[in-house]
Amino acid sequence: MSALDGLDERQREAASVLRGPVAVLAGAGTGKTRVITHRIAHGVETGAYTPSRVMAVTFTAKAAGELRGRLRRLGVEGVAARTFHAAALSQLGFFWPTLAGAPAPAIVDNKVRLLAQAVESLRMRPDTATLRDIASEIEWRKVSMLSIDEAVGRGRVVGKLPPSTLADIMRAYETLKDERRQLDFEDVLLACAGMLEAEPRVAAAVHEQYRHFTVDEFQDVSPLQNRLLELWLGDRKDLCVVGDASQTIYSFAGADQKYLLEFERRYPDATVVRLETNYRSAGPMLAAANALMRGRSGALELTPARAHPAAEPPLVTAYETETDEAAGIARRVAARIAEGESPQDIAVLYRANAQSAVLLSALAAAGVATTTLGGKRFFDMPEVRQAILALRGAAVAPNDLGFLPTVRDVLRSLGFREDPPEAGGALRDGWEARRALLRLAEEAPPGMTLRVFSDQLLARAKDQHEPTLQTVTLSTLHAAKGLEWPHVYLAGWGEGALPISYAKGFDAIDEERRLAYVGITRAARTLELSWSRTAGRGEREPSRFLGEIGSGILRESAPRAIRGGRRF
């Protein structure tokens, strides 16, 4: 079998071009990860690539783990699939002792805590929220490659701090960090870039080690990440970038889509392939997504890979209050589960974390178990860590029960019971986690042993390959990027919530539009959007994005759900 088998025409075209520069403009649900991994596998099987000389770069440890897992399934081992930070940290750790005669500096484990200690020298005591905002500003400054004076001169506001005070705090933070011989997360990239620029022998060694580069989610690169990539490449062009400008939703953190949009200008000889066949969503969802982004720079026109004759247009519902909206969503989710849909196939998405509490409460009241993305990682949960330790212990103890009965026995000894506790709260979360471990054991192939099973669990933890819980997912739009569900509910589609109230100006509103696009394109089969006419003591109108998509594409559950008005 060839690594190109099973790819559609455009995917095959992208995966067949093994020498860069290559830009794959991949819309939501068009199979970009499939293209990345099959392209690398095709390069290895044809002898064009040596796996150890390939670096595949992405933005999260989970995405890097997914790349490694897919490559393994294609028979490819040894590719460096890493985040920018992991790759830079590895290079610093390797070269720093030789250059400096000492180990690399330690990494700051808590930027906010270090900031709090730094501002004590200025006789200030900002609250934790302000410290977090300052930490975010420090991160933005560094990934944007700006000096402190340049950053504060841009006029970005942090609480009520005058620019001069913000600059003093930033300098105090850098001074304390240097005194303690530490690097923060962004310093890792800066130090690696500086090392490559200043030390020709280091640059030569890196260029010799890595010959072929692939960068996923290229629309999210910052100026600093792009500079580091340039240094890794040197004067070579063997680069494949994959991205979608319509999903640039991290501009506030320094992401700049211009590197994707201007790729052809920088590399006039680049091969550019557009992936616009969507394998995820039914036509009505894609019609809404296309309408929202039409005319925007770099927008792709998505088409469904297959017909969905029974698919209905997205439904829009207006509620009187946010509490009513949460209760309405909970009722509809509970009804869908009662009709036989699996909870894991359902997601409720929202713009800001503050919206989650009322939704969690309403879903728990409706008896719906939930998992919130961005909470504690599955393999960091005490119930999971305890279970893995117990399973490893049982693996060395003789017993005649067999694999699956022993797993059940171990979990029962830790408090697991077949009947779940009520939805909501830590007890239910722990039960769902242990049930997920049992489900993995039930799905294991014949001949599985406790030793192999527990080793596989540790490998999954390393790659952040978390099992699917039998729960409804709650998530912000940011955290939901890259994921998908058959049924999606988008809450809070009112002015002031989406776009959020502090989004001012064309660029900020356009970022909110891209967030809305990400939300719509998470849905495979059904999509419901909702908003509330009041928020606190204020009144709210429907999101302008509903009007931009239009009633010709969206369904209204009652009159004026899209256009507003005080009553249905």
Alpha helices in 267-321 (DSSP H): 283-293
Dig out the tokens for 369 from the structure. 């178990």
Give the tokens for residue 328: 């309405």
Would the annotation count 153 as a binding residue?
Answer: no
Cα separation, 555 vs 553, whole angstroms: 7
- The tokens describing 376, both together, are 């504690």
Q: Which amino acid is at 2?
A: S
31 annotated among ligand-binding-site residues: yes
Q: How far apart are CA 29 and CA 104, in angstroms?
A: 41
On whether the CB atoms of residues 375 and 457 are closer than 8 A, the answer is no
In the numeric block, which tokens belong to residue 251?
């501009």
**C-alpha–C-alpha distance, residues 11 and 32, integer Å:** 8
Question: Would you call the peptide bond into 21 cis, given omega within 30 degrees of 0 as the criterion?
Answer: yes
Q: Report the amino acid identity of residue 448.
A: M
User: How far apart, in whole angstroms, are the C-alpha atoms of residue 16 and residue 38?
Assistant: 9
The pair of structure tokens assigned to 340 is 């036989």
CA distance 180 to 252: 29
The C-alpha atoms of residue 87 and residue 229 are separated, in whole angstroms, by 11
DSSP assigned state of 74: T
Sign of the Cα pseudo-torsion (464, 465, 469, 472, in order): positive
Q: Quick check: bond before 446 cis, omega within 30? A: no
**Residue 32 marked as a ligand binder:** yes
Phi and psi of 487, rounded to 5°?
A: -125, 125
Q: Which two tokens stand for residue 491?
A: 């809450």
Tokens 């792009």, located at residue: 226
What's the rounded Cα separation, in Å, for the pair 320 and 531? 8
N- to C-terminal Cα distance for the chain?
58
Distance set, CA 155 to CA 105, 122, 142, 438 (Å): 32, 22, 16, 53
Q: Is 29 annotated as a binding residue?
A: yes
Cα 464 from chain centroid (whole Å): 12
> Which amino acids are annotated as binding site, given as ranges?
26-33
Binding-site annotation, residues for ATP: 26-33
